Each structure stands twice: as structure tokens, then as C-alpha cells.
Amino acid sequence: MKTIKGPAIFLAQFAGDEAPFNSLESIAGWASALGYKGVQMPSWDGRLFDLKKASESKDYCDEVKGTLAGHGLEITELSTHLQGQLVAVHPAYDDAFDGFAAPEVRGNPKARQEWAVDQMMRAAKASENLGLTAHVTFSGALAWPYIYPWPQRPAGLVETAFDELAGRWRPIMDAFDAAGVDLCYEIHPGEDLHDGVTFEMFLERLGNHPRCNMLYDPSHYVLQALDYLEHIDIYHDRIKIFHVKDAELNPTGRQGVYGGYQSWVNRAGRFRSLGDGQVDFVGIFSKLTGYGFDGWAVLEWECCLKHPEDGAREGATFIRDHIIRVTEKAFDDFAEGGSDEAANRRMLGIV
């Protein structure tokens, strides 16, 4: 067993144009003062990080690490959620996702996808230059508009979508392999990889590629009514990154998992700050520790009610208090009486 590292915080939801959230130096000081030990870096936010520089310059990566180290912080992983989303976009979502891309490729799906692939390739090299071992992204989606089988899906539609998805990701996966970095998909509604079954479908098409792994976030499983504890039992070998995020599902006679097109605050399923939802974090930290997960426990703050700064402050304490410092000895070692093979045979009645 190993002790989970943390607490850490994903900076994407906090970066902004006002201090202390508008530069790496200032946001690092803010996170450190709250008790965080690591930060997960959004690679698309130029106020905090330059992905192009990081992919081309180890000196720049050393500067980033030095800035963080000056505040007692480490970088846990890079994130390419927005760029990964653009590796595969169904035409129904072209306009909605166009804003994730660089201005020069917006309105041009082919150029946008090429840009996204280049961003992923750069992320592999940047992760290597930073000395990281895991990376988080989204898979994108081609089949998501057909998640509910009405009208009836034509035979082979989903299979074709996953064949194409795997084909697009295979060269990126190989680049991460060459960099020595695990590529971890956040299993997330809106992505074709949104549960265990879809992850397995994708993994199979990649020949069980050893770099194809998961980010585990129980909040997305609560909102699907999926057993998030058994999920760890099934996929613990593939879980390399952990988002600590809370949620609740309170179905009524009027709405359930689908949410009736309501705002976040009015949905049956909604995200909450740590400790305010229904997730069994004692069970999660126990299972991950028991399976030897040695990555970071990273707060991803999303809540429909609480102010983000309050969620961040409370989240550091919450994660710290849930991390289990693993024992180096058995609790009943005091009663150990010593033994040898001859004694063992006598106890078993073996002559």
C-alpha cells in the first residue's frame, strides 16, 4: 500500500483576470496558503501556463516548477480537457465547442481538429519536460447525440464511431507512450467515454494500450447512478488520476437523471462542494489506498451553491483529513509469538 499524495487543486475553475488568480506566481501563493501541496495545470490558460513553450523548452518547464516550488507546491499533471474535446466533435456541437479552439481555426472543423491533435502532441512533450507521469484529457465524442436509442440506432453506428475515435487517438497515445506518460481520460457525460463499458470499448480498439488510463471522478458516477465504489474494484489498475469532487442525485416525481433541461441548481443531479453531497469519500479513499493508488488527490471544485473560494478553503482540509497514512505494521503485531517450519507442522498435525 502507498499513501495518496495531496491535497492538490485543479486551477481551471479559479484562474481569472483579477489577483490572485491572474498569474502563476500569485495563484500559487493563494493555493499554498490554503494548505495545498500540488496543482493540476490547465494547459490552455495563458495567464498561468504556455503549452507551446513547455513543449519546446525544458528551461521554461524548470521555471514553472521553480515558481511552484517557491510556494511549496508541485505540478501534479497537465490538463488538456478543452483540446482533447476537439479531437472528436460531432457536427451538432460544432458551434458550441468552437470557442475552445484558437481563433484562427474556429469555423473550420478540419483545421480545428488538426490544431487539437497538435496540442495533444505538445502536451505529451511538455509533460515529459516537466517530469510528469500522467496527463488528463477528454476523449471528445462522435456518438454522444445517439446516447438514447430513440430513434432506433442503425446497426453498426456506435461501432463505427468508436473505430473512428480510437483511430484518431492512437497516434496521440503512442506519443504519450514515447514520452513515458499515462494518458488518462476523465470519464464524463458528454464524452464518448462516459462510463466503464464505453472505456472498455475504446480500450479494446486500442489493443489494451498500456498508456490508456482513467481519471476517476465519483461525482460523474453519482449523477449516472453508477456504483462508484465497485468501479474502483473493476478498474483500479487503470486509475492513475483522482479528482475529488462531490455530487448529489435527488430524483423526484418530476425529474431524475436527465434533469428536465433545468439549471444546475434545479437539477435532480448536481455538483456540490466537498462534504456537501452524497459521495462516500471514506469508502473511496479506503479502496484507492488498499489498491496502492499512489497519485494525487486533486480537488476539482464545482458547486451550484457555494462560493469557489470557500469551496477551495474547505476542500484542502477535507482532502487532508481523508488521506490515509498507510501503516507499516499489522495492528496485532504485539501478539506475534514467533514460529518456524517445525512449529507450523506441529500445529497442523503434520508428522
Q: Euclidean distance between the first and final Cα of the chain, in Å?
A: 37
CATH code at position 114: 3.20.20.150
Counting residues of the chain whose pLDDT is more than 70, the rounded percentage is 97
Q: Is the pLDDT of residue 198 over 90?
A: yes
Q: How far is CA 203 from CA 13, 147, 166, 177, 196, in A?
A: 30, 19, 8, 15, 10
Beta-strand pair 269-272/246-249: antiparallel
3-state secondary structure labels for all residues of 294-323: CCEEEECCCCCCCCHHHHHHHHHHHHHHHC
Contact 326, 35 (CB under 8 A): no
Per-residue pLDDT, 185 = 98
Q: How many domains does the chain have?
A: 1
Domain containing 331 equals: 5-347
Q: What is the rounded distance in angstroms from the CA atom of residue 202 to the CA atom of residue 99?
A: 27
Does residue 331 surpass a pLDDT of 70? Answer: no
The full length of the chain comes to 351
pLDDT greater than 70 at residue 49: yes
Place of cell 477535507: 318
pLDDT given for residue 334 in this prediction: 57
d(CA 214, CA 178): 19
Nearest to 65 by CA among 52, 81, 76, 79: 76
> Which of 98, 104, 8, 11 lies closest to 49, judged by CA?
11
* pLDDT grade for 244, boundaries at 50, 70 and 90: very high
The pLDDT tens digits for 139-197 are 999 999 999 999 999 999 999 999 999 999 999 999 999 999 999 999 999 999 999 99
